[in-house]
Amino acid sequence: MSAQHELIYSKMNYMLIGIGALLVVAGFFLMAGGGNELGPDGYAYEFDESIYSFRRLTVAPIVIMLGFITVAVAILKKFKRPE
């Protein structure tokens, strides 16, 4: 058995997988945030309109999908290895 192990993907593939994973995490952070704060009886006293913000409904899902697409491309595309 050889002491030298060869990786399945090139360095570029692994970099793209990392970038895609960071995009997915960033998208979930963009989607997160406070919502309605519940009172002691378990009901919300005031409705918080920020749950319908442009960032949460549009930007965050687009960033997450870009992350998933980036990871898929990184897995499927074969980049040339440096000689």
Q: What's the pLDDT at 25?
A: 98
Q: What's the pLDDT at 4?
A: 78
Give the CA distances from residue 54 to residues 30, 31, 38, 40, 77, in Å, rounded to whole numbers and listed in that order: 10, 10, 23, 30, 33
> How far is it, in rounded angstroms, from Cα 3 to Cα 26?
38
Note the pLDDT tens digit of each residue in 9-61.
889 999 999 999 999 999 999 998 766 667 777 776 776 777 888 999 999 99
Parse the chain into domains and list their residue ranges: 11-76
**Has this prediction a pTM greater than 0.75?**
yes
In this structure, what DSSP letter does residue 49 have? G
DSSP-based three-state secondary structure for 40: coil
> How far is it, in rounded angstroms, from Cα 59 to Cα 23?
12
Q: What's the pLDDT at 65?
A: 98
Note the pLDDT tens digit of each residue in 55-78.
999 999 999 999 999 999 999 998
> How far is it, in rounded angstroms, from Cα 74 to Cα 11?
10
